Amino acid sequence: MLYLSQFIKMLLIVVIMLQWINPAQAADLTVSLSDNQGNPLPNIVVTLTSPATIIEEAEFSPQHPAIMDQIDRQFVPHILVVPKGSYVAFPNSDSIQHHVYSFSKAKPFELKLYSGRPPQPLEFGQAGEVAMGCNIHDWMLGYVYVVDTPYYGKTNARGQLTLTVPPDDYQLILWSPLLDSKDSAVQYSVDVAADSKIDLSLKHALLPAFEGFEQSDEFDDY
Amino acid sequence: MSLMTTKLALLTSLTIASAVVSASADAAPAQVNGLIEFGVVQSHYDSGWLNSWLDEGVGVLRFSQNGRFILSQAGLELSQDVTTTLSAHLVANGYTDGRQKLGFSEAYLRYKPITAGLRHELKLGMFYPKMSLENVDTAWNSPYTYSYSAINSWLAEELRTIGAEYTITRSGRMHRSPFSYSATVAAFKANDVLGAILTWRGWALHNRQSRYNESLPFADYFQFNQFELTLPNTEMVTEETDGRWGVYAGLNWRYLNKTDVRVYYYDNMANRLAIEANNQYAWDTHFSSVALQHKFTSQFRVLAQWLSGSTYMGRVRAGVFADFSAWYVMASYKVDQHRLSVRFDQFKVNEKDLLPEDPNDSHGYSVTFAWRYQLNHNWNIGVEWLGTASTNKSRTLWQGWQARQSQQQALALVQFRF
């Protein structure tokens, strides 16, 4: 029986070592978001943060930047989410020039975009909302939302988002330029111990999106 | 030309030239856009005297040829950033008809600082007031029809100012509102002859823009000695005759990118007794313009414009006074690479002076159909048919000529764009 006890000891040591190599098992948190009428809400940014959350390495480097394009006199995507320290490129797919600017505290900048001459990507080193316009096309509006966590995403067409995170107690925050400030100020406490689901709904109506501004043509800047 | 205009023109061209020259290889690249438009015209008139005013006829259409190959126009837009917010712009146009083949229709500096709340823009030089919604394409062309409406044909041939324009804008998107607003004020020199060709010849329909210092010919309405002085049957559109400033002001209201309304008031505040060495008078001309565009869908839109004003030239009992007005409505439908447009124009000039020897009453209408097809980024083709009936009393100065005439013109054109 000596052999069996030695085998059990060995097994315990292996299990403990495995624990040491992979101390925190990941869990899936699925968020389902609906508006104040109960309809699924797409394209809303969800972030999870805890005191232990750190961004080890920026996801988007100068060599592999995130892309905020300009297509048909609009920003594409309308909302780009990047972790703090990421680089963002503005390639300008239009055959005309743009003059992108922002007055947001997180990243005030101006960038002239000539067709076929993409400038160097810009670093977004401070968390927060960066609202951008174009000095030539007044109706253009886009956002870079810089987050302080590697755990983030946008809800899909069904208002859902699944984030894979280490088990922890998290603060969940929603963001979109269309959220009422009372909804974006709410911090949801979420204890993610294992795979779990959470249903959230807004208390207030979304602000109007004015999608008619997106229906521009090449003659609108006259 | 007055000293003031010379100085203004010199200043503008020098600044633009220095801006272009100072741009080194690693600085902002120059932006170049242009088009060349050519094809065949069929314009059959009953009488040779209904030729174009450019050929000293009394017709209201541009082309006198029939079944001929024409170079309709060449247009070139050149822009150069001096700084990120200051840019220089030049627009050159070339035509084979008229007395001047090449010239500049616009040359200006634009300063547009980046501001967080209200937006500001300052322009200095020679440029069109943005009172129209039809001529929004390269080199102030219409993307809808080849021939402009009567209103914009007139602005193209006779309205050319040299001065400063300031615009303040409240962008709706930046203020979470579906409505955007702009207000524009401008003071200018030149353009003292505005109203002359309109009063004598009447309204016309074409796409020929007058350029800086161009002498625009028209029929010799003065060979019958109805005036004390022998007047020239040409006009220098950019001439500054009286040394006075003119003004214009406009309001622009826009709902999303769907509906656009522009209301403008223009007054060259000319001294109607001022006269050039060649007896070209200054015409005291003012008018109001309301332009509208509504996009029902991304494919279908309607445009309209109304313009009404008055002009005065010379002494009360020996001068030329007239009221003028015109409007058009256009519907345009774009499906895939096709664009179909139809426009109806109506126009008139009412004589107000006491000089029956110089009849200025005219009125008429026109219908224009156009189909245009975009082959690729560089090439597009199209055909246009335009029919107009005009009753211009000035035609009866010639013995046996009738006031009322109808004219038709068919164009088949190719545009190369770059």
H or E element at residue B151: helix B150-158
Residue of A nearest to B172 (CA): A139
Backbone φ and ψ of B24, nearest 5°? -85, 180
- Across the interface, of A117, A138, A215, the residue whose CB is closest to B29 is A117
With 0-12 / 13-18 / 19 or more C-beta atoms within 10 angstroms meaning exposed / middle / buried, residue B125 is buried
pLDDT for position A19: 53
Task: Report how far residue A77's alpha carbon sits from residue A91's, in angstroms, rounded to the nearest whole number.
Answer: 12
Task: Please tell me whether residues A126 and A90 are part of one structural domain.
Answer: yes
Q: Do B136 and A222 touch (CB under 8 A)?
A: yes
Could you tell me if B289 and B305 are in contact, meaning their C-beta atoms sit under 8 angstroms apart? yes
Q: What is the pLDDT of residue A22?
A: 52
- Strands (DSSP E) found in A72-194: 74-76, 79-83, 86-89, 98-102, 109-113, 122-124, 128-134, 141-147, 152-154, 160-165, 168-175, 188-192
- Does the pLDDT value for residue B237 go beyond 90? yes
Q: Kindly list the residues from chain A whose CB atom is less than 8 angstroms away from the CB atom of residue B84.
A: 99, 110, 112
A20 assigned to some structural domain = no
Q: Does A99 share its domain with A115?
A: yes
Name the strand (E) or helix (H) holding A17.
Answer: helix A2-21
Q: Tens digits of per-residue pLDDT, B278-301? A: 999 999 999 999 999 999 999 999
Domain-located, residue A11: no
Is residue A88 domain-shared with residue A135, that is, in the same domain?
Answer: yes
Residues A76, A88: one domain?
yes
Read off the pLDDT band of B220 (50, 70, 90). Answer: very high
Q: A162 in a domain, yes or no?
A: yes
pLDDT confidence of residue B1: 44
Q: Does residue A77 have a cis peptide bond before it, meaning omega lies within 30 degrees of 0? A: yes
What's the pLDDT at A55? Answer: 86
The pLDDT of residue A54 is: 87
Residue A212: list chain B partners with CB under 8 A: 178, 255-258
| For testing contact with chain B, the best of A99, A111, A213, A221 (most B CBs within 10 A) | A213
Return the pLDDT at B199: 97
% of chain B with per-residue pLDDT over 70: 93
**A88 shares a domain with A34:** no
Label residue B135 by pLDDT band (50, 70, 90): very high
Domain definitions of chain B by residue range: 3-417
pLDDT value at residue B11:
52
DSSP alpha helix (H) spans, A32-169: none
Low-confidence winner among A28-32, B236-240, B316-320 (lowest mean pLDDT): B316-320
Tell me how close the Cα of A129 comes to any Cα of chain B, in angstroms.
15
| B44 to chain A, closest Cα gap in Å | 34
The answer for residues whose C-beta is within 8 angstroms of residue B391's C-beta and 6 or more apart is B362, B363, B364, B403, B404, B405
Exposed e or buried b per residue across A102-118, where buried means at least 16 C-beta atoms within 10 angstroms of its C-beta:
bbbebbeeebbbbeeee
Assess whether A103 and A121 both reside in one domain: yes
Do A138 and B28 lie within an 8 Å CB cutoff? no
Cβ-nearest to A216 among B133, B180, B257: B257
Domain span holding position A175: 26-50+151-205
Cα separation, B161 vs B239, in Å, equals 9
When comparing pLDDT for B3 and B112, which is higher?
Answer: B112
Averaged pLDDT for residues B16-21: 56
Residue B88 has pLDDT above 60, yes or no: yes
Residues in CB range of A149: below 8 A, 6 or more apart: A47, A48, A49, A53, A55, A83
Nearest to B254, CA basis, from B318, B331, B175: B175
Kindly state whether residue A220 falls inside one of the protein's structural domains.
no
For range B61-90, the mean pLDDT: 94
Disruptive mutation site among B35, B123, B173, B260 for chain A (greatest number of A CBs within 10 Å): B173
In the prediction, which pLDDT does B44 show? 73
Beta carbons of B171 and A138 less than 8 Å apart:
yes
Q: Could you tell me the fold of the domain covering B3-417?
A: Porin (2.40.160)
Whether A161 and A112 share a structural domain:
no
Q: Which residues of B touch A137 (CB under 8 A)?
A: none
Instruction: Decide if pLDDT at B103 tops 50.
Output: yes
In a domain, A82, yes or no: yes
The reply to whether residue A210 touches residue B256, judged by beta carbons under 8 angstroms, is: yes
Query: What chain B residue is nearest to A216 in terms of C-alpha separation?
Result: B257
Residue A17 in any domain: the answer is no
Residues A137 and A168 in one domain: no
The average pLDDT across B216-231 equals 92
Average pLDDT, chain B: 93
The domain spanning residue A171 has which CATH number? 2.60.40.1120
- Is B313:B284 a contact under the CB 8 Å cutoff? yes
Q: How confident is the model at residue B235 (pLDDT cuts 50, 70, 90)?
A: very high
Q: Are A83 and A95 in contact (CB under 8 A)?
A: no
For residues B73 and B63, the answer to whether their CB atoms sit within 8 Å is: no
Query: Would you say residue A19 lies in a domain?
Result: no
**Is a pLDDT exceeding 50 seen at residue B188?**
yes
DSSP B363-376: EEEEEEEEEEEE-S
Q: Contact at 8 Å (CB) between B349 and B362?
A: yes
Q: From residue B112, give the alpha-carbon distance in Å to each of A56, A72, A217, B171.
A: 42, 22, 22, 14
Of the candidates A114, A217, A220, the beta carbon closest to that of B28 is on A114
Residue keyed to tokens 């009992």? B317
Q: Is B167 on the interface with A (CB under 8 A)?
A: no
Cβ distance of B31 and A217 shorter than 8 Å: no
Q: Which of A97, A139, A141 sits opposite B31 (nearest CB)?
A: A97
pLDDT value of residue A2: 55
User: In A, which residues are within 8 Å of B28 by CB distance?
Assistant: 112, 114
B352–chain A Cβ distance below 8 A for any pair: no
CATH of the domain at A73: 2.60.40.420
Polymer length of chain B: 418
Phi, psi of A200 (to 5 degrees): -125, 145
- Distance separating alpha carbons of residues B59 and B43, to the nearest angstrom: 11
Question: What is the DSSP-derived secondary structure letter of residue B66?
Answer: S
Residues of B in contact with A222 (CB under 8 A): 130, 133, 136
Q: Give mean pLDDT, residues B214-228.
A: 92
Which residue(s) pair with B383 in the sheet?
A: B371, B412
Residue with tokens 């998107």: B173
Whether A43 and A120 share a structural domain: no
The strand ranges marked E within B244-361 are 246-255, 259-267, 284-295, 300-313, 320-335, 338-351
Domain count, chain A: 2
The confidence score (pLDDT) of residue B6 equals 54
pLDDT in tens, B361-374: 999 999 999 999 99
- Residues of chain A contacting B295 with CB distance shorter than 8 Å: 215
B116 CB near a chain A CB, below 8 Å?
yes
Task: Give residue B225's pLDDT.
Answer: 86
Where is average pLDDT lowest: B200-209, B243-252, B310-319?
B310-319
pLDDT category at B25 given cuts 50, 70, 90 is very low
ipTM of the complex as predicted: 0.88
Residues of A with CB under 8 A from a CB of B: 96-97, 99, 101, 103, 110, 112, 114, 117, 133, 135-136, 138-141, 207-208, 210, 212-217, 219-220, 222
Side-chain-side CA neighbours of B31 within 13 Å: the count stands at 21
A72 contacts in chain B (CB < 8 Å): none
pLDDT of B28 reads 87
Mean pLDDT for each consecutive 10-residue tract of chain A (222 residues)?
A: 68 60 76 96 96 86 97 96 97 95 97 93 97 96 96 96 96 96 95 94 95 88 86
Instruction: Evaluate whether residue A195 is within a structural domain.
Output: yes
pLDDT at B15 over 50: yes
Please tell me whether residues A65 and A143 are part of one structural domain.
Answer: yes
Nearest-by-CA chain A residue for B143: A219
C-beta atoms of B178 and A217 within 8 A: no
Question: Do A176 and A161 fall within a single domain?
Answer: yes
